[in-house]
A and B are shown apart, each in its own frame.
Chain A
Amino acid sequence: MEKVYDTVVLGGGPAGLAAAIEAKKNGAEDVLILERDRELGGILNQCIHNGFGLHTFNEQLTGPEYAERFIDQAKELDIPYELDTMVLDLEDEGDLKRIHAVNEENGYQTFDTKSVVLTMGCRERPAGAIGIPGFRPAGVFTAGTAQRFINMEGYMCGKKAVILGSGDIGLIMARRMTLEGAEVEAVCELMPYSNGLQRNIVQCLDDYDIPLKLSHTITFIHGKDRVEGVTIQEVGPDLKPIPGTEERIDCDVVLLSVGLLPENEISRNAGVEIDARTNGPVVSELRETSIPGVFAAGNVVHVHDLVDFVSEEAALAGKGAGKYIQGTLDQEPDFKTVAGPGLGYVVPQNVSLDNVDDSITFYMRVRNVLEDKVINAYIGDEKVATKRAQKFLPAEMVNFKISKKTLEKYPDGEEIRFVIEDKPVPKKKA
């Protein structure tokens, strides 16, 4: 008889590592990680900048250092892994799931398992998805591709760059290109605000006097064989280019940091229900998807801005897989969550309180910059919790923690609704 694993984890990046570790600690004996790259660690291996791990380890680590800590833990727990292995398909056969994969050594093979954790991460929105007019010259890269070339393979991608999109990878690459001797002429951002973390604007752009052009986009890429320049244009409130604002900037490389898309081909084919808001699976508090025994965590569920929260979420999924194997997972949801107007999404979408220890953290994102607002959680007509912040930014995921005790007070509640409301005006002292 073929071996049957307890848990197979699809992807050995930060989410996969944390999920595998936690699954093993929570009762899944036979755990296996399948990774398509040549080593574990995923995207962290190319993120050589510091700033990772403040929440998890209380210190500033670089991406590879952060990855290594988890890789070491996985090795201590003797969790086996297969590298250079591409998962093609996941079949749900009820109690058994079958994974189809290929690698150079063994060719095509299948793995049978009782539970699966989906941790495939996300990928960058490519040039083709945003349709910039012009030819298709060499020298147009997604920021992450350039990052891999420079930081891991040792190839510089240009001498004079324009970056489109102010997501964190774009900002980080602006600094990286500058440190390696390139000139970064501008970072253009379509929206009137940056999509990156504030600290990255300071230490990646302001430090090197790189202009951030908000409400600007690239409207033409010049050059036929190699990029020779771009035309940038200001955009109006409708995000359409304003005629007469054209400006030509000469450059030999264009980097795109225009969004990340959860990579869910395998999930979709397997029949996992996908949330149209997150582009990721609908999940429970322990990150179980619509298929019992299939869990998901990290950027494949929703795009995170900090790896610390990826690890945190993946640990939940690993714990879920462990409980599923032990037969102690409650699969009946008590609540559904609802994102009110102005909120992009809420994860998890379902909650069973029995699986929650002390509290549950809801992850959500606002659609616009909000000042003097709070996010309130309602069950029925009753306000049960409030999340406050100096400011809410679309670039920064909101973590809204609610205690189990609070939610237990509403055994008949069906929905937890998250609503943006005005910050109450403090009462003046008499």
Chain B
Amino acid sequence: MAEVRNLICISCPMGCNLTVTRDGDNITVTGNTCKNGEIYGIEEVTNPKRVIPTTVVCNGGKLKRLPVKTADAVPKSMIFDIMKEINKVSVDAPVEVGQVIIPNVLDTGVDVVATRTMPAE
């Protein structure tokens, strides 16, 4: 029996309406207008992933919080566990954009990186 799911693609702000049909190992995506839509559709029914944007405590910087993100999408089921790890961290300014804050967070193979340059105060 083929399983059909209607999704909204979150790859970009276009928000295409996708129809993902799963018949065993055979997954087809329709309604997408680009390659990213197909990738998103397949991942969303097999292993849904998200990028986590958040902040860490920053000492001695221009701001008290440094924005960070997972450099790539991580499994959706791990979001709250990864948030716990990120919340343990505090960094000292100065920080460069792209600087790795947590390497390979919870063995996902994905780094948590700074999303802005934070000069020291």
> Which residues of chain A have a CB within 8 Å of any CB of chain B?
38-39, 45, 48-51, 54, 60-65, 67-68, 150-154, 179-180, 197-199, 201-203, 207, 305-306, 390, 396
- With A54-B12, A390-B17 given, can you name 7 additional A-B contacts, CB distance below 8 Å? A38-B62, A50-B53, A51-B12, A62-B53, A151-B55, A153-B64, A197-B15
Q: Smallest CB-CB separation from B17: which chain A residue?
A: A390
15 intermolecular pairs with C-beta atoms under 8 Å apart: A38-B62, A48-B54, A48-B115, A51-B13, A54-B12, A62-B67, A154-B57, A154-B64, A179-B83, A180-B54, A197-B15, A202-B7, A305-B13, A390-B16, A396-B13
**Contact code string B68-94 (vs A, CB < 8 Å = 1, else 0):** 010000001001000100000000000
Residue pair A199, B116 in contact (C-beta under 8 Å): no
Q: Is B10 positioned at the interface, with any CB of A under 8 Å from its CB?
A: yes
Shortest CB-to-CB span from B67 to chain A, Å, is: 4
Shortest CB-to-CB span from B77 to chain A, Å, is: 11
Q: Which A residues lie within 8 Å of B55 (CB)?
A: 48, 150-151, 154
> Which residues of chain B have a CB within 8 Å of any CB of chain A?
7-13, 15-17, 50-55, 57, 62-65, 67, 69, 76, 79, 83, 97, 115-117
Bound-complex Cα distance A49 to B68 (A) = 9
Q: Which of A152, A202, A306 contacts B10 (CB 8 A)?
A: A202
Q: Which B residues lie within 8 Å of A152 (CB)?
A: 63-65
Residue pair A197, B13 in contact (C-beta under 8 Å): yes
List 3 A-B pairs, minimum CB-CB distance, nearest first. A198-B15, A64-B116, A48-B67
Bound-complex Cα distance A151 to B69 (A) = 13
Residue pair A65, B115 in contact (C-beta under 8 Å): yes
Shortest CB-to-CB span from A169 to chain B, Å, is: 14
Q: Smallest CB-CB separation from B54: which chain A residue?
A: A179
Q: Which B residues lie within 8 Å of A65 (CB)?
A: 97, 115-116
Residue pair A199, B62 in contact (C-beta under 8 Å): no
Q: Which B residues lie within 8 Å of A180 (CB)?
A: 54
Residue pair B8, A68 in contact (C-beta under 8 Å): no
Bound-complex Cα distance A155 to B13 (A) = 29
Bound-complex Cα distance A203 to B15 (A) = 11
Bound-complex Cα distance A61 to B83 (A) = 20
Q: Which B residues lie within 8 Å of A396 (CB)?
A: 13, 15
Q: Which A residues lie within 8 Å of B13 (CB)?
A: 51, 54, 197, 199, 305-306, 396
Bound-complex Cα distance A408 to B94 (A) = 54
Shortest CB-to-CB span from B49 to chain A, Å, is: 11
Q: Which A residues lie within 8 Å of B9 (CB)?
A: 199
Residue pair B50, A207 in contact (C-beta under 8 Å): yes
